[in-house]
């Protein structure tokens, strides 16, 4: 969809506002072209001695009334027009946010946060200006131009009118050349702003790391360079926009010279009156606005087109994750991976190969293995953040794409190793998926996650604001708050029916890495108790610390994306493979730490 098509559709949907503005602008244009004619008649009346006393005051009063009417109409059309244009900006931002919210992780791996934020600010502002000022300025300028030219040629003298149009084709050529440069300049300016936005976003998110490594001066220099580049790009765009004004000025100056020269000659031959020449020169002066409007409109449209070239593909990009399923999850269902393989986009090596596993309701699956062996990738496939390259994943015999995505996500409570906490109160973070949860339910979830006592020691307890990304909490506290959020999402024992409405599965992706072994044991004991009260619930625990999975019903060892060992804790120890070696090493390490 082009910018023109998008704007045409918006105008059709909001035609009353645009029609009302157009009518008011038409009234303004008619009054504007009437004023010079009226002034000419007053001048001729004064020269002939026909206008005196009350008659002169009446004619002057009409001119004053026309000026007041123009003022009121200008206020009216701006109110009507910009209200509609601001609605377009709101709709585009809402549409952009909704579209991005539906995209999967694969889409964001190819996009930068700063670029997407720039689309929601500068780019949509440019499109909004094109829908507001550009459209109505084009209508106003075109209507005024036609009426003024009509009055100049038909109402005054056609010879004088045609002669003054001689310079205008040269102005049209200049406008065409300038508008091409304006489009390119604004494309560069918007791209430079995106880069600056990305740098600010990354710099502020990682300011503690930059400060710790002493990199703030270098980061500041980089920001200054990017800001200078963005400023220079914007300056170049403004410089090309400024080129419209001299083109208009030179054209109108040439037209005025022709009008005065030819008009004076016609007055000398008594083929034109002084009042008519006065009216004509006033009409010629009124062409200043349509000419400037043409340059302004071209500038706004080129800026909007450059912005739409960036914004349109994002709004129309196909979803990287389709939600076409209709089936609901049963209350208790077995999870199966059947020959699942997966490769990340542009990756040379498969992340998972021929994965086969089965997890009945109420059981716990442990996933262990070296870093990069595919443990987190397996969970991401289960969450449908990516689709398998081969094989299929089923719940109760239903493949994941056949399930409603909303139902699947309600049934899965995922806690990543680096959980995301919002800049809000702790209670609000825990109750994120269940905002209607009572304080007692929130506290019960916190107790299960072994973070209740930590929260009580904070200045305002559960009402404590934790800052952006939970910056005021330790790594272990953030993980336990996220676990509490996941448990409340599934339904803690005192919360009645689970939030998922049926089966539920807890996914812990190395979510205990930042807690000590004593706290880990406490949390796992609480989770086992919770699952006994929820027999339809199951769990998958990913961990580098084998003590976190030793009580699991089944343990899988992933190495190089393949399952190399499987069984219970005792069976894997008896097997004497990677698991047994790693277990002995970690037990020895724990013994040394205890000395």
Tell me how many degrees the CA angle 183-189-195 measures, rounded to the nearest 5: 140
How do the residues of the chain divide into helix, strand and coil, expressed in percent and rounded to 5? 65, 10, 25
Position 495 scores a pLDDT of 45
Give me the mean pLDDT over the 460-467 stretch. Answer: 87
343 against 527, higher pLDDT: 343
Position 503 scores a pLDDT of 66
- Model confidence band, residue 499 (pLDDT cutoffs 50, 70, 90): very low
Please, what sign has the CA dihedral across residues 450, 453, 458, 459? positive
Least confident of 498-512, 531-545, 581-595: 498-512
Position 337 scores a pLDDT of 94
> Other CB atoms closer than 10 Å to residue 318's CB: what's the count?
7
Position 564 scores a pLDDT of 94
Position 305 scores a pLDDT of 86
Do strands 504-509 and 364-368 pair parallel, antiparallel, or not at all (unpaired)? Answer: unpaired
Q: Cα–Cα distances in Å, from 146 out to 122, 172, 248?
A: 34, 16, 17
| Res. 497: pLDDT tops 60 | no
Position 321 scores a pLDDT of 77
| Per-residue pLDDT tens digits for 388-445 | 999 999 988 889 988 888 888 888 889 988 888 888 899 999 998 888 888 999 999 9
Chain centre distance of CA 164: 49
| Per-residue pLDDT tens digits for 556-590 | 999 999 999 999 999 999 999 999 999 999 888 87
| Res. 472: pLDDT tops 50 | yes
**Rounded distance between C-alpha atoms, residue 189 and residue 187, angstroms:** 5
**Rounded distance between C-alpha atoms, residue 3 and residue 9, angstroms:** 10
> What is the SS3 assignment for 129-192?
HHHHHHHHHHHHHHHHHHHHHHHHHHHHCHHHHHHHCCCHHHHHHHHHHHHHHHHHHHHHHHHH
Position 420 scores a pLDDT of 86
Nearest CA to 488 out of 437, 532, 536, 539 is that of: 437
Position 567 scores a pLDDT of 93
- Model confidence band, residue 502 (pLDDT cutoffs 50, 70, 90): low
| Res. 494: pLDDT tops 60 | no
Q: Running DSSP on this structure, what letter comes out for residue 112?
A: -
Q: Under 8 Å CB-to-CB from 530, ≥6 apart: which residues?
A: 448, 487, 492, 493, 537
**Rounded distance between C-alpha atoms, residue 253 and residue 259, angstroms:** 10
**Rounded distance between C-alpha atoms, residue 508 and residue 366, angstroms:** 10
| Res. 338: pLDDT tops 90 | yes
**Rounded distance between C-alpha atoms, residue 320 and residue 25, angstroms:** 46
Give me the mean pLDDT over the 347-376 stretch. Answer: 91
CB-CB contact of 11 with 18 (8 Å): yes
Nearest CA to 424 out of 414, 432, 416, 434 is that of: 432
CB-CB contact of 476 with 383 (8 Å): no
Radius of gyration of the chain (CA): 36
CB-CB contact of 415 with 509 (8 Å): yes
Domains and CATH numbers, the chain: 18-316 (1.20.1560.10), 344-594 (3.40.50.300)
Can you read off the two tokens belonging to residue 22? Answer: 């157009």
**Rounded distance between C-alpha atoms, residue 321 and residue 408, angstroms:** 13
- Residue 229 falls in which region: left (phi positive, over 0), alpha (psi -120 to 50) or beta: alpha
78 against 365, higher pLDDT: 365
Give me the mean pLDDT over the 155-165 stretch. Answer: 77
pTM strictly above 0.85: no
The percent of residues above 70 in pLDDT, for the chain, comes to 95
**Rounded distance between C-alpha atoms, residue 165 and residue 169, angstroms:** 8
Backbone torsions φ then ψ of 38, nearest 5 degrees = -65, -40
Q: Which helix (H) or strand (E) holds 352?
A: strand 352-359
Position 593 scores a pLDDT of 65
| Res. 157: pLDDT tops 80 | no
Please report how many Cα atoms fall inside a 13 Å half-sphere around the Cα of residue 319, on the Cβ side. Answer: 15
| Per-residue pLDDT tens digits for 277-308 | 777 777 777 677 677 777 778 778 888 888 88
Q: Running DSSP on this structure, what letter comes out for residue 402?
A: G
Do strands 390-395 and 412-415 pair parallel, antiparallel, or not at all (unpaired)? Answer: unpaired
Q: Under 8 Å CB-to-CB from 450, ≥6 apart: which residues?
A: 480, 515, 519, 522, 523, 526
Give me the mean pLDDT over the 332-337 stretch. Answer: 88
3-state secondary structure of 284: helix
Give me the mean pLDDT over the 483-512 stretch. Answer: 73
> Other CB atoms closer than 10 Å to residue 114's CB: what's the count?
18
| Res. 493: pLDDT tops 70 | no
| Res. 498: pLDDT tops 50 | no
Position 563 scores a pLDDT of 94
Average pLDDT, the chain: 82
Give me the mean pLDDT over the 371-399 stretch. Answer: 90
Position 574 scores a pLDDT of 92
Backbone torsions φ then ψ of 353, nearest 5 degrees = -140, 120
Position 546 scores a pLDDT of 92
| Res. 118: pLDDT tops 90 | no
**Rounded distance between C-alpha atoms, residue 305 and residue 292, angstroms:** 20
| Per-residue pLDDT tens digits for 50-101 | 767 777 788 778 888 888 888 888 787 777 777 777 888 888 888 888 888 8
Please, what sign has the CA dihedral across residues 304, 307, 310, 316? negative
Nearest CA to 121 out of 38, 60, 198, 173 is that of: 198
Position 595 scores a pLDDT of 57
Position 533 scores a pLDDT of 73
Can you read off the two tokens belonging to residue 109? Answer: 């791996």
């Amino acid at each position: 969809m082009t910018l023109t098509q998008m704007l045409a559709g918006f105008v059709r949907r909001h035609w009353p506002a645009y029609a009302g503005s157009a009518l008011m602008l038409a009234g303004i244009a008619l009054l504007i072209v009437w004023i010079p004619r009226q002034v000419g008649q007053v001048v001729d009346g004064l020269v002939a001695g026909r206008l005196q006393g009350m008659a002169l005051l009446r004619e002057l009063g009409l001119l004053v009334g026309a000026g007041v009417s123009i003022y009121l109409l200008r206020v009216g059309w701006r109110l009507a027009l910009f209200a509609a244009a601001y609605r377009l900006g709101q709709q585009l931002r809402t549409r952009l946010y909704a579209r991005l919210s539906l995209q999967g992780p694969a889409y964001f791996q190819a996009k930068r946060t700063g670029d997407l934020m720039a689309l929601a600010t500068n780019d949509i502002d440019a499109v909004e200006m094109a829908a507001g000022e550009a459209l109505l300025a084009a209508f106003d300028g075109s209507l005024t131009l036609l009426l003024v030219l009509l009055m100049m040629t038909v109402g005054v003298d056609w010879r004088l009118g045609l002669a003054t149009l001689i310079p205008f084709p040269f102005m049209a050529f200049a406008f065409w050349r300038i508008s091409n440069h304006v489009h390119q300049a604004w494309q560069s300016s918007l791209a430079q702003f995106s880069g600056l936005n990305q740098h600010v976003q990354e710099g502020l998110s990682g300011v503690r790391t930059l400060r710790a490594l002493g990199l703030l001066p270098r980061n500041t220099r980089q920001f200054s360079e990017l800001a200078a580049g963005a400023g220079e790009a914007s300056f170049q765009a403004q410089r090309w926009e400024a080129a419209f004004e001299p083109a208009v000025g030179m054209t109108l100056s040439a037209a005025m010279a022709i009008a005065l020269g030819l008009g004076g000659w016609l007055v000398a031959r008594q083929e034109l009156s002084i009042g008519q020449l006065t009216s004509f020169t006033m009409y010629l002066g009124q062409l200043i606005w349509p000419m400037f409007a043409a340059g302004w409109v071209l500038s706004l449209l080129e800026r909007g087109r450059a912005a739409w070239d960036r914004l349109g593909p994002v709004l129309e990009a196909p979803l990287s994750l389709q939600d076409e399923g209709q089936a609901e999850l049963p209350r208790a269902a077995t999870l199966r991976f059947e020959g699942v393989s997966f490769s990340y986009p542009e990756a040379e090596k498969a992340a998972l190969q021929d994965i086969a596993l089965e997890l009945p309701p109420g059981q716990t699956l442990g996933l262990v293995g070296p870093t990069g062996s595919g443990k987190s990738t397996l969970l991401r496939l289960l969450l449908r953040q990516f689709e398998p390259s081969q094989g299929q994943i089923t719940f109760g015999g239903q493949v994941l794409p056949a399930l409603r995505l909303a139902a699947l996500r309600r049934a899965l409570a995922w806690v990543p190793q680096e959980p995301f906490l919002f800049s809000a109160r702790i209670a609000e973070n825990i109750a994120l998926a269940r905002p209607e949860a009572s304080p007692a339910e929130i506290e019960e979830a916190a107790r299960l996650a072994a973070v209740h006592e930590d929260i009580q020691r904070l200045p305002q307890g559960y009402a404590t604001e934790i800052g952006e990304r939970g910056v005021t909490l330790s790594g272990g506290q953030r993980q336990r708050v996220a676990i509490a959020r996941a448990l409340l999402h599934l339904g803690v024992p005192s919360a009645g029916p689970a939030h998922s409405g049926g089966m539920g599965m807890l996914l812990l992706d190395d979510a205990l890495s930042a807690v000590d072994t004593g706290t880990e044991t406490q949390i796992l004991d609480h989770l086992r108790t919770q699952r006994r009260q929820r027999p339809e619930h199951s769990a998958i625990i990913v961990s580098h610390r084998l003590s976190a999975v030793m009580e699991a019903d089944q343990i899988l060892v992933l190495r190089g994306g393949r399952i190399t060992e499987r069984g219970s804790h005792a069976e894997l120890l008896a097997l004497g493979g990677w698991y047994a070696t790693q277990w002995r090493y970690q037990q020895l390490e724990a013994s040394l730490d205890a000395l």
